[in-house]
Structure 1
Amino acid sequence: MTFSIVARCSRTGMFGVAVSSSSPAVAARCAYAQAGVGAVYRQVLAVDVTGTTAIHSGPKALGIWAEARADNAACGGNMLAHDGVPQAMVEAFLVSEGHLGDRLIATMRAALKAGGEVGPVHSAGMKLVREVAWPVADLRCDWTDDCPIEQLASLWEIYKPQLDAYVTRAINPSDAPSYGVPGDE
């Protein structure tokens, strides 16, 4: 892990996790979330269904590592530019508004602005869960020499308008709106 957040939306009950790292495919390896129980992330960061948070950092965390938490959000990281990065993340989450996905992206941007990891980050991901048994969003940028958080933000802007429709298609396809693509008129 380089820097990450697990969070719960107090308004909707949705859970999410976002992560960025200098190593490839970080979200595929390190992000875990399941509706109804909370989100868990390695270092380990956790948030439960009431918004209570907990963090454990193992004795072999790499480089500068730190953690910060508040109700509904836990942030942590290792190989950080300085130990204030997670606190900047928590503060960004607490002042952000809107959809949990937007708030997680804002938090990851704040981590970069605060210094992020010592070296450049190359991958990022975000997973969102709510009342269904699968992630309602599982977006990743597995490797880029550009900013993976900005690529993740672009993916989120494309995906966000369809999120609820994808859930409806899985539960009751006849009630789902059109995809708006050729062949689905």
Structure 2
Amino acid sequence: MTFSIVARCPKTGHFGVGIASAVPSVGSVCYQGSGNAGVVVTQSWVNPYWAIDGVQLLSNNLTASEVLEQLSKADPRTNLRQAAIVDAQGEVAVHTGADCTEVSGHLTAQGVSVQGNMLANKQVLPAMLKAYLSSAQDNFQTSLLSALTAAQAMGGDKRGKQSAALAIYSTEEYPLLDLRVDDHLEPLRELARLLDLARTQILPYSSIMSTRTMPQGRRDEDIERMLATPPSER
């Protein structure tokens, strides 16, 4: 009922997830991530604990494959689940249950996995992976969005489109960026608009937020200038 991408950026080490669906609020329960640990997406007949528990296991230094094995053993309905994991080393582990609604499946490359179910056709996933890999020199967020856009251009979710989300995890347990479109006629177009907005009005502030090692956050002359500059001029 959904298509998604999870990846680790080879240039920055950031983790990312992009997801879209013909149901509302797909970003609310389908993924979790943590900087320096990894990211997990769960879909089809969603079990949110695959994402919640998966990130905790990644934080305990289990590999993506080990995490997937543990999650599968703990769930008696793995035949209905679809999930993908990327760990801190860029290892990918992915599962598409035998009873996920067709067209379903997944494709992987180094540090990235694309997956979907109830897809319009078998061309959706190849188009998705190609778009991501061919935009590897672009900004990471742009590459993730390009993958979602390519999937939608091929038909995406065969029932239509309604919601989308994109998240980036850097070095902290909270996301560097977490954008969600919960109900929209053109969710990916709206997600692209929000991403443009985030580049001037959200991401600049991430450099001054509290971290585990610097709970006071940062304030320096460059940041003061940034705060004094109108968003339209940044």
Q: Normalization by structure 2: what TM-score?
A: 0.73
Cα deviations by residue, 1:7-48 (Å, 9 ceiling, x for unpaired): 111000011001000111001110211111111111111112
Q: Does the 8 A contact of 2:38 with 2:86 survive in 1?
A: yes
Question: Superposition pairs for residues 166-177 of structure 1, below 5 Å?
Answer: 166-171=205-210, 172-175=217-220, 176=223, 177=226
User: Is 1:178 the counterpart of 2:211 in the alignment?
Assistant: no
Q: Going by fraction, where is helix more abundant, 1 or 2?
A: 2
* CA shift in 2, pair 1:135/1:64, >3 Å: same
Q: RMSD between aligned alpha carbons?
A: 1.7
Matched residue of 1:17: which SS? strand
User: Is 1:125 the counterpart of 2:165 in the alignment?
Assistant: yes
Distance, in Å, in 2 between the alignment partners of 1:9 and 1:107 is: 14
Q: Which amino acid aligns with 2:196?
A: E
Cα deviations by residue, 1:133-178 (Å, 9 ceiling, x for unpaired): 210100010001x210110011001102345422222132423330
Residue identity over aligned pairs, in percent, reads 33
Q: Select the residue among 97, 101, 111 that pairs with 1:62.
A: 101
Distance, in Å, in 1 between the alignment partners of 2:121 and 2:130 is: 16
Residue matched to 1:90: 129
Residue matched to 1:16: 16
Question: Superposition pairs for residues 1-185 of structure 1, below 5 Å?
Answer: 1-42=1-42, 43-96=82-135, 97-144=137-184, 146-171=185-210, 172-175=217-220, 176=223, 177-178=226-227, 180=229
Matched residue of 2:107: which SS? strand
Q: Count residues with an aligned counterpart.
A: 181
Q: Which consecutive unaligned segments of at least 5 residues does structure 2 have? A: 43-81, 211-216
Distance, in Å, in 1 between the alignment partners of 2:90 and 2:133 is: 13
Distance, in Å, in 2 between the alignment partners of 1:124 and 1:113 is: 15
Matched residue of 1:170: which SS? coil
Q: Which amino acid aligns with 2:227?
A: S
Larger radius of gyration: 2
Matched residue of 2:199: which SS? helix
Matched residue of 2:90: which SS? coil
